[in-house]
Amino acid sequence: MESNESLEVAIENLADLKRKIVVTVPQDTVKEAYNKIFNSMKEKVSIKGFRKGKIPQSLLEKRFEKIMKSEAIESLVPEYYEKAIKQENLKPAVRPQFDDLEIDKKKPMVFSATFEIYPEFDLPDPSVYGLEKKEAVFTDEEIQEQRERHLNNAATFALKDGEAAEGDQVVMDFVGKVEDETIAEANDQKYILGSKQFLPEFEAALTGMKKEEEKDFDLNFPSDYNEEKLRDKTAQFSVTVKEVNQTQLPEMDEAFFARYGDKVKSEEEFNQFIKDEVKFRKEHEIKTENHKIIKEKLNEVLDFNVPEQLQQEETSIRLKQAKQDPANKESADSVLEEKVKQEALEQLRFSILVQKVLDDEEIKTDENEVYRRFEMNCAMMGIRPEDLIKEEYGRQIYQQTYGMITEETVLDFIIEKATE
């Protein structure tokens, strides 16, 4: 059924991005499809009075008319739809809706497909972003802190009778409230003093506490706290310490290095791994800031329409997630929906731009960088990459990492062009 001849295709513009194509499949091709189905069926079907393989085609077609029509349509429509969009250089954004699916081997087959296409637009000039080149700068103290994080992740713990001090692990229950509204609550929460994962005031309150001790204290959230609604608020916390454990850091041996796969075989290589990780984090912070600037500017300058079906699907997913977020419980449904709809539109525009840059500039995602980032995630989790990738959860992490690297690759390309 392969042919180099031009396919008969009619295109109708139904809306800005909505297209309907009417495709004509030649009668000879339809007949050939029927013959292939017949040759396959005659070896499998038994009809009284005929040996297998010797059933007349006319009888088989009469007896199994619906099945043969269905199989012919299933074989021809997807193939000729793909040929039609390739010939006409159309880029569908959603699955097509097929109509007029009738077939007669004595006639050409004519069917229609309706779908939305991706928009055509020009990429913004790199100068609109106003970016400047920055170098990653970090201190020995930051390297030491990262080293300690890795060691603490591999640490073991022994019960301690005395007061909790820096480096000790505290196992606790706590609840925090602002104006009688619970903002934080946990049971059997494990925390290493000095890790700086909690606010300094919280760590200070824990320091010196003993097993089974209870304490109430006020905690002042800073004005730049990451959760906006808690900025400059004072919370009342109640803490019960259930255990105080002394941290026992791991030895620099093969068992510890095995956590890092083939990347680390000695203490020297471990120290270099930590340094590279801190440098990467600093570079990532610079990139993240530039990426934020680019995205904000794109939200201002990109104004093309996106396929309605994509926007409806993206909005539906985001709205469901937003309604499950306690932070949105005070928002009116109409206000929340409008906010989510705008976020979905901006994300879709950005995703479409990413794909356009990939296509226009022939950019490929660096598989080595994807795996390197995956390895770093595994190291922080204390799991060997080759073990995690065997699990469904691990494969999801890998795919998410691939998507992130692809997006970053495009943003880095924009940064390079904008800072030349």
Give pLDDT, residue 6.
Answer: 83
pLDDT above 70: residue 409: yes
Which pLDDT band, with edges at 50, 70 and 90, does 147 fall under? Answer: very high
- Per-residue model confidence as pLDDT tens digits over 61-117: 677 778 888 888 999 999 999 999 999 999 999 999 999 899 888 899 999 999 999
Within a domain: residue 227?
yes
- Per-residue model confidence as pLDDT tens digits over 38-65: 777 666 666 666 666 566 777 766 777 7
Give pLDDT, residue 1.
Answer: 40
- Per-residue model confidence as pLDDT tens digits over 174-183: 999 999 899 9
Contacts of 50 (CB under 8 A, 6+ apart): 56, 59
pLDDT above 80: residue 250: yes
Number of domains observed in the structure of the chain: 3
> Do 204 and 264 sit in the same domain of this protein?
no
Instruction: Give the whole-angstrom CA distance, residue 44 versus residue 352.
Output: 48
Give pLDDT, residue 38.
Answer: 75
Instruction: Give the whole-angstrom CA distance, residue 69 versus residue 74.
Output: 9
> Do 262 and 384 sit in the same domain of this protein?
yes
Give pLDDT, residue 5.
Answer: 66
- Per-residue model confidence as pLDDT tens digits over 329-348: 777 778 888 989 999 999 99
> Do 66 and 180 sit in the same domain of this protein?
no
pLDDT above 90: residue 201: yes
- Tell me the sheet residues that pair with 215: 239
> Do 197 and 272 sit in the same domain of this protein?
no
Instruction: Give the whole-angstrom CA distance, residue 317 versus residue 340.
Output: 10
Which pLDDT band, with edges at 50, 70 and 90, does 120 fall under? Answer: very high
Instruction: Give the whole-angstrom CA distance, residue 311 versus residue 149.
Output: 42
Helix (H) or strand (E) holding 148: helix 140-153
If you average pLDDT over residues 157-176, what whole number do you get?
94
If you average pLDDT over residues 1-9, what whole number do you get?
68
> Do 195 and 336 sit in the same domain of this protein?
no
Within a domain: residue 56?
yes
pLDDT above 80: residue 7: yes
Give pLDDT, residue 386.
Answer: 85
Give pLDDT, residue 204.
Answer: 95
Which pLDDT band, with edges at 50, 70 and 90, does 2 fall under? Answer: very low
Instruction: Give the whole-angstrom CA distance, residue 206 versus residue 239.
Output: 8
- Of 78-82, 187-191, 308-312, 369-373, least confident by mean pLDDT is 369-373
If you average pLDDT over residues 12-29, what whole number do you get?
95
Task: Tell me the CATH number at 163.
Answer: 3.10.50.40
Task: Tell me the CATH number at 378.
Answer: 1.10.3120
> Do 107 and 178 sit in the same domain of this protein?
no
> Do 299 and 321 sit in the same domain of this protein?
yes
If you average pLDDT over residues 362-390, what whole number do you get?
87
> Do 303 and 393 sit in the same domain of this protein?
yes
**Which of 209, 205, 196, 213 minimizes the C-alpha distance to 176?**
205
pTM for this model (two decimals): 0.62
> Do 406 and 291 sit in the same domain of this protein?
yes
> Do 275 and 376 sit in the same domain of this protein?
yes
**Which of 156, 388, 394, 372 minimizes the C-alpha distance to 273?**
372
What range defines the domain where residue 342 resides? Answer: 254-418
Give pLDDT, residue 277.
Answer: 92
Give pLDDT, residue 48.
Answer: 66
Within a domain: residue 312?
yes
